Amino acid sequence: MRVLLVGAGGVGTAITRIAARRPFFEHMTVADYDLGRAESAVAALGERGDRFSAVRLDASDRAAVLETLGRHRCDVLLNATDPRFVLPLFESALAHGAHYLDMAMSLSRPHPSRPYEECGVKLGDAQFEQAADWEAAGRLALVGMGVEPGLSDVFARYASDELFDEIEEIGIRDGANLTVDGYDFAPSFSIWTTIEECLNPPVVYEQERGWYTTAPFSEPEVFDFPDGIGPVECVNVEHEEVLLVPRWLKARKVTFKYGLGDEFIGVLRTLHLLGLDRTEPVSVRSDLGQAAVSPRDVVAACLPDPAGLGERMHGKTCAGTWVKGVKDGRPREVYLYHVVDNQWSMREYGSQAVVWQTAINPVAALELLAGGVWGGSGVLGPEALPPRPFLDLLTEYGPPWGMREQ
């Protein structure tokens, strides 16, 4: 297997550090708009970097992506960029005849007149519209293969296959007790992506109603997370699982709730109030004349790079899937989860916990694809594939997953 990894930020760099310890691939080309960042990711591997090379690549330039895929003879494109670049990379992979993986799907667009009641363009719609082309080409686009979405969807499929006869609700619940020394506000993941998912109308699925939307940060609930994290208030947030799970699994309701905290929500609301969450460029006066800049890009530039916060970060992060239903005629609730301690991930891989927990899943998926354990064609979510091989392999990579009876 020859892989083109596009994006050498926090998650992309963690991918290289995890993949370097596994023998399943022949070569990985690490591509980034900033060549120095791609070179640094490869150089940090030391002796383990002999199967890696670094190149400069603009992810929005389809011709350049095609040329890079061909020049490096890549048969898989792994997208570790932010969601703005999903479609050019997704479509370039198909044009080249490569398989494709991502961790975040094509962007949504709110309903023009009823944004908090009805769906407009949903996450991933633009990719699923091209599913027939991928099937005809005999190529696989495995979408949403990070931690959330990704591992959370694998948990949902495992619960459906082995733990329940009927499912009332599948609810993704994400929480952490992470702190960052020296910063009053320092997101542990890309602020660009965080703004996108937290300020868009959250989507909920109900079997009788289908997909519908609600207001951001709605329906707060306190969820007790394992391994010492404890109770965290979680709210509705737009996320891919709600769009993926119902395509393959039968459940009366599917939700996603994120433990953000009042302070974090307050900052996001202020950014929205000031228009600083917008992606459309605005004209700004500078020493070199007028410049067109995206307010959201300015916010991102003013905040610390999440990938570089690991040494200042303390605590644990938990991703998981809560499932409620019936087994053998009796009510049952379980929480399937994966916890990563930042101290462990920094010591073992030099990557902070949130990006490491995201990165491990596409690497494990690539290993299953390389070995022929996973396969298929078309546009598939993680829940379309058998969960047990993935969960067994996950325990080889690092902290094991767990299950708690509620």
- Please report the pLDDT score of residue 196 as a whole number: 82
Taking a C-beta distance cutoff of 8 angstroms, is the pair 100, 94 a contact?
yes
Average pLDDT for residues 172-181, to the nearest whole number?
Answer: 93
pLDDT digits (tens, 9 = 90+) for 287-316: 878 888 899 888 888 888 887 887 888 999
Residue 124 to residues 31, 66, 84, 213, 242: CA-CA distances in angstroms?
24, 22, 12, 16, 11
Query: Mean pLDDT, the chain, as a whole number?
Result: 94
Burial-class residue 148 by CB neighbours within 10 Å (0-12, 13-18, 19+): buried
Min mean pLDDT across 20-34, 76-90, 281-295, 354-368 is at 281-295
- Residue bearing the bigger pLDDT, 18 or 308: 18
Average pLDDT for residues 111-120, to the nearest whole number?
Answer: 96
- Please report the pLDDT score of residue 263 as a whole number: 83
Taking a C-beta distance cutoff of 8 angstroms, is the pair 214, 262 a contact?
no
Using alpha carbons, select from 118, 107, 121, 140 the residue that is nearest to residue 1.
Answer: 140
The pTM for the full model equals 0.93
Average pLDDT for residues 135-142, to the nearest whole number?
Answer: 98
Cα separation, 355 vs 193, whole angstroms: 13
pLDDT digits (tens, 9 = 90+) for 321-351: 999 999 999 999 999 999 999 999 999 999 9
- Please report the pLDDT score of residue 78 as a whole number: 98
The band of 104, judged by pLDDT with boundaries at 50, 70 and 90, is: very high
pLDDT digits (tens, 9 = 90+) for 223-234: 999 999 999 999
Average pLDDT for residues 175-193, to the nearest whole number?
Answer: 83
The band of 372, judged by pLDDT with boundaries at 50, 70 and 90, is: very high
pLDDT digits (tens, 9 = 90+) for 395-406: 999 899 999 998
